[in-house]
Structure 1
Amino acid sequence: MTHQPQTVKRKIGLALLGSGLLLGALQFAAPWVQAAEETDAAQRLKETSNYTVTSAPVEPLHLPTPTLPDLSGYTLEAVNAKIERNVKGRVVVRRMLQQDALKDFIGGDERLREWVTRQGGMPHAIFIEDGYVTPADLARALPDNQFSEVEPGVYLARLPIVVAQGATLHVDPQTTDLRLSQERGAFLVNDGKLFITSTRLTAWRETDNAPATFREGKEFRPFLVSWGGSELYIASSVVTSLGYDNSKSYGVSITQYTPGMHERLQRAEPTGWLIDSEFVDHWYGFYCYEAQNVVIKGNTYRDNIVYGIDPHDRSHGLIIAENTVHGTKQKHGIIISREVDDSWIINNKSYDNKLSGIVIDRNSVRNLIAYNEVYQNHSDGITLYESSHNLLWGNQVLNNKRHGIRVRNSVDIKLYENVSAANGLTGVYGHIKDLSDTDRNFDLDPFDAKISMIVVGGTLAANGSSPLSIDSPLSVELYRVQLLAPSKSTGISFAGILGEKQEEILDLMVRRDLAVLIDPVESQAELQD
């Protein structure tokens, strides 16, 4: 599917004209619903108790426009100002064995055998220590069979490179391209400070004299990992073809050490900025684990394999802003998963990804998802799975193949001023699901089959199945939601619990312009008790 932002915006513009008229000229994905999903929802409706519809006070529903982080300081100039060049570093080659920064990659016979085979003997790595080093410095210090300048400004690493604590590697603008040899098993480990500015970093297939483009998941490709206590800065650069399906080897990663290593080393949470750069053909475009205050701003992530942007376990304070993410081949464009909290996903474009455009997953809470354009994805637009207490504000969710916004097993979800239009199924779909028969680890990823949400403002237009469908909620509040351009000839049609109470809801919300509260009879009885 091609990128057609103007076409999509023209369609939504048509849908928003008028006050609920059918607009035959609007084109969108043909409606389709899986029978199993409909049957499952119908069964849950039979099992739920009665719900009542009442008007709700408006004042508690008013929220101020969210305050966004100031992005003006995240620039190439600010990155350059962080580089300390005064002390020249030292370059040495050592065996990979018994090195803390490399233990995750040589543990077990299989991984050690990988480097022995590629290097033709006991594996070694290049270590940068005690100060500032550039690729030109590496080329002067090392023989050509380990690191060489193959063309003016183009360098080929044929061993892994480790930036030690207290050291800085700067892949600088005088470097046209730093290439990591796939055949020789090169990769890049940052245990200190790594700067990549106004240049290129490429996984390189020497036999093809070309980038090591993806062939299959288990095939080794060079990667970059930045460990606990480190800082990684990539600015105004192009990074290509990194990563494969192996632990901490996914592409560009900022990650705390594994639990056993972290218990011994006690390194601080890693951090970094990735700004105004392009990331292409990686196993994961970006991955982080137990990282803090990482800034991912103004980048393009295209044609990556599994995910575009994937912050994971217990990372927090992240800014994911002004990125364009598209063409992810296997899963989602942007996903945060497993207790990724107190972060901002703002002003991004995520489109034409294999599954959802943006996903908030596995108990990730207190995040702001705002002003994103999420369209033409092959599954949902924005998906929240088992992640309560999140705010979605001012997003445009258009022409996705399944639901516009899907919320599962999550409470206190606030949807404010969003536009969800021309999606194949439902504009906003809320549901519960029992995950006990899955392979989920419930110690790591507990869940409650509960859902509640507030939907205020915004527009639901021309979605294939219905504007809203919510089943078995603890409560739902609706206020000032525009319902335009229904796709069905019968007009606006809710589904789930809302379908049962449609006339009452429309009377209060549309005809009388009041806030609507839908909640089960039991909750009202509990309040009276």
Structure 2
Amino acid sequence: MPCQPATPDSPLSLRERARVRGESQHQNAPLATLLLGSLLLATAPSWAAETPAKQPGITQTLKESGNYTVTAAPAEPLHLDPPKLPDLSGYTAEAVEKKIDRKPGKATVQRMVQQQPLKEFTGGQNRLGEWVKRQRQMPQAIFIDGGYVNLAQLAGKLPKNALEQVEPGVFVARLPIVVNQGATLDIDKGVKELRLSQDRGAFLVNDGKLFIRDSKVTAWNEAKKEPAWYRTPNEFRPFLVSWGGAEAYLVNSTFTSFGYNASKAYGISISQYSPGMDKTMKRPRPKGWVLDSTFIDAWYGFYCYEADDLVVKGNTYRDNIVYGIDPHDRSHRLIIAGNTVHGTKKKHGIIVSREVNDSWIFNNKTFDNHLSGIVLDRNSERNLVAYNEVYRNQSDGITVYESGDNLIYANQVLGNRRHGIRVRNSVNLRLYENVAAGNQLIGVYGHIKDLTNTDRNINLDPFDTKVSLIVVGGKLIGNGSGPLSVDSPLSLELYKVAMLAPTKSSGISLPGILGEKQDEILDLLVRQQRAVLIDPVESQAELQD
């Protein structure tokens, strides 16, 4: 099981700094402050080092400008050691092999209706009709029960209209396959390819243990004798779902053309049962590892819902439709590491959305996706996004929407069509040692937006129009609309950020609030090499109450 994220100690809050300096503070004083420190335009001039150092903890008021005052402040609280990453050495094919219990089981063909693992798909006439039409009978499925079953060994033991070996090592499943509680299905290297018939409505449901190792599983159009390539969102395509209480291990395998726009049939899914069923069944959270595999032309390359401690490592997600990797609703402690995600056709490469917390997203490459490379969305908090390469995406590189308390560390965010790193309606975002270069708009962009009059469900996904950032180290290089812009910050802190290679002939330009104070701030930061604290005038008045 993954360890708890190693979230480094946060730098002292601005209120705490005020207390350390001996200033009085009010219980409800706003945190609207702006700290800027040691902003390096290239190499600091030699005379900057000659400026006498100020005593730690002593502020120096320089100038009141608009609604803010500019003061010097200590930089020590901004120090942050590199974050600790989870140990990935235990997530291997050998470790998966050891999880298999080979107590013999059996396979039978039974009706689909009134089967608990299938109620999501047979509970309404609309969905049940899909299988009536495709099977041309009361729908049936293959059920694995009682213990271990190896798929290759089933050849000849089931009717050909259920499972047929059409050439050595190549099998066509013409009925859904269901792994019941207490059962294990192993699809190993003895299966060169398992083809799930689109024509007959085949799919995979796991309610026990599912192993797919060193194999290939394809959603298959029998009529055309080719994969069930995506054509329209609502056209049935075979899918895989692993339910609450179950375990799925997908290793060194290739999955092609899975999923469509229907609940729990998105592609490759590890999901708790729907809320209504979960209340009565009370199944544990689903478990699983997805390792060193390839996913092509899926509606969603990976999806999870209310799942904990999943590992998605070393995979390739290529030319999928909506998302490459999409952990969702209240999934926790996920490891998403070392994946390559590219060519997503409709939306993002990697997205975590709606309270996906305490997770790690690191050492991934995500590029050439239709929208953003990596997204944290809808109150996903306490996550680490580190050491990723995010480039040539058609929107932002890294996007953070309504998701506070995250650490964005040492990422390479290059050549994206919009912003390098974009933060909206999110507080306590820490951006350390990132490189944002050659993006067409802003290198780092923070802003607020009122989402009240949108299709957003405010009760399900609440938000505050507040943004606060800490940006330390790293480089902002040659971004088309400037290195940095923050709209109406609750707080902003920067220290030792290099701003290089401006695209405008006038040189470095900071728009918005920063632009109003650019001359004073840059003079202080470059000349004195000090951290700078800019307090709104109204907050200082409250601090003196």
TM-score, normalised to structure 1, is: 0.90
1:19, CA displacement in angstroms?
Answer: 4.5
Map 1:431-446; keep pairs closer than 5 Å: 431-446=447-462
| CA shift digits 1:177-216 (9 cap, x unpaired) | 0110000000000001101111101100001111111111
Q: Which residue of structure 2 lines up, in the alignment, with residue 106 of structure 1?
A: 122
2:365 equivalent to 1:349: yes
Alignment counterpart, residue 408 of structure 1, candidates 415, 424, 441:
424
- Deviation of the 1:226 alpha carbon: 0.4
Aligned mates of 1:78, 1:262 — CA distance in 2: 30
1:458 aligns to 2:485 (yes or no): no
2:507 counterpart (473, 491, 497): 491
Identify which of 83, 86, 95 aligns with 1:66. 83
User: What is residue 212 of structure 2 aligned with on the other side?
Assistant: 196
State the secondary structure of the residue aligned to 1:287.
Answer: strand
- Structure-to-structure mapping, 1:267-286, within 5 angstroms: 267-286=283-302
Correspondence 1:97-246 to 2 at 5 A: 97-246=113-262
Q: SS at the partner of 1:511?
A: helix
| Partner SS state of residue 411, structure 1 | coil
The answer to whether the Cα contact below 8 Å between 1:475 and 1:520 also exists between their aligned partners in 2 is: no
Q: In 2, Cα distance between the equivalents of 1:382 and 1:270?
A: 28
Q: Note the C-alpha offset of 1:54.
A: 2.2
Aligned to 1:263: 279
In structure 2, what is the Cα distance between the partners aligned to 1:410 and 1:110?
41
After TM superposition, give the deviation of residue 49 of structure 1 in Å.
Answer: 7.3
2:254 alignment partner AA:
V
Deviation (angstroms), 1:18: 6.5
Aligned residues: 486
Matches within 5 A, 1:357-372: 357-372=373-388
More displaced 10-residue stretch of structure 1: 228-237 or 500-509: 500-509
Q: 1:385 aligns with which of 395, 401, 409?
A: 401
Q: Give the distance between the partners of 2:153 and 2:283, measured in 1 at CA.
A: 28
Partner Cα distance (2:456, 2:511) in 1: 29
1:77 to 2:94 alignment: yes
Q: Aligned match of 1:248 in 252, 264, 273?
A: 264
CA distance in 2, matches of 1:370, 1:171: 34
Indicate the SS of the match to 1:143: coil
Q: Structure 1 CA distance, aligned partners of 2:150 and 2:296?
A: 24
* 1:304 and 2:320 matched: yes
Provide closer, same or farther for how the CA distance between residues 374 and 102 of structure 1 changes in structure 2, counting only shifts above 3 A: same
Deviations 1:229-248 (A, max 9, x none): 11110111111110000000
Given that residues 476 and 519 in structure 1 are in contact (C-alpha distance below 8 angstroms), is that contact kept between their aligned partners in structure 2?
A: no
Question: Offset of 1:522 from its aligned partner?
Answer: 2.2
The whole-number CA distance in structure 1 between the counterparts of 2:42 and 2:424 is 32
Q: Distance in 1 between matches of 2:441 and 2:371?
A: 14
Cα distance change of structure 1 residues 49 and 117 upon mapping to structure 2, 3 Å threshold: farther
Percent identical across equivalent pairs?
68
SS at structure 2 position matched to 1:203: strand
Of 517-526 and 311-320, more deviation after overlay is shown by 517-526
2:523 to 503, 507, 516: 507
- The question of whether the paired residues in 2 share the 8 Å contact of 1:468 and 1:495 is answered with yes
Alpha carbons of structure 1 residues 443 and 66: separation in structure 2 relative to 1, 3 Å: same
Q: What SS does the corresponding residue of 2:95 show, helix, strand or coil?
A: helix
Instruction: State which drifts further: 512-521 or 400-409.
Output: 512-521
CA offset at residue 218 of structure 1?
0.5
Mapped pair 1:523 → 2:522: no
1:292 to 308, 315, 334: 308
Question: Deviations for 1:438-477, whole angstroms, at most 9, x for unmatched residues?
Answer: 0111111000000101000000010000100001111111
How do 1:9-20 residues align onto structure 2 when only pairs under 5 Å count?
Answer: 19=43
The equivalent residue for 2:330 is 314
SS in 2 for 1:125: strand
Q: Hey, what's the Cα distance between the residues in 2 that align with 1:398 and 1:467?
A: 13
Return the alpha-carbon distance in structure 1 between the equivalents of residues 379 and 525 of structure 2. Answer: 32
Q: Offset at 1:107?
A: 2.1
Change (3 A) 1:524 1:18: closer
Higher RCO (CA < 8 A, seq sep 6+): 2
Q: Distance in 2 between matches of 1:272 and 1:56?
A: 48
Check whether the contact 2:477–2:500 (CA below 8 A) recurs between aligned residues. yes
* Partner SS, residue 140 of structure 1: coil
Q: Is the 8 A contact 2:177 2:204 kept in 1?
A: yes
The residue type paired with residue 441 of structure 1 is N
Deviation at 1:139, TM superposition (A): 2.2
Q: How does 1:35-46 map to 2 (within 5 A)?
A: none
Rg larger in structure: 2
SS at match of 1:424: coil
Q: Does the Cα contact within 8 Å between 1:477 and 1:518 map onto a contact in 2?
A: no
User: Bigger CA drift: 427-436 or 491-500?
Assistant: 491-500
TM-score of the superposed pair, with normalisation by structure 2? 0.88
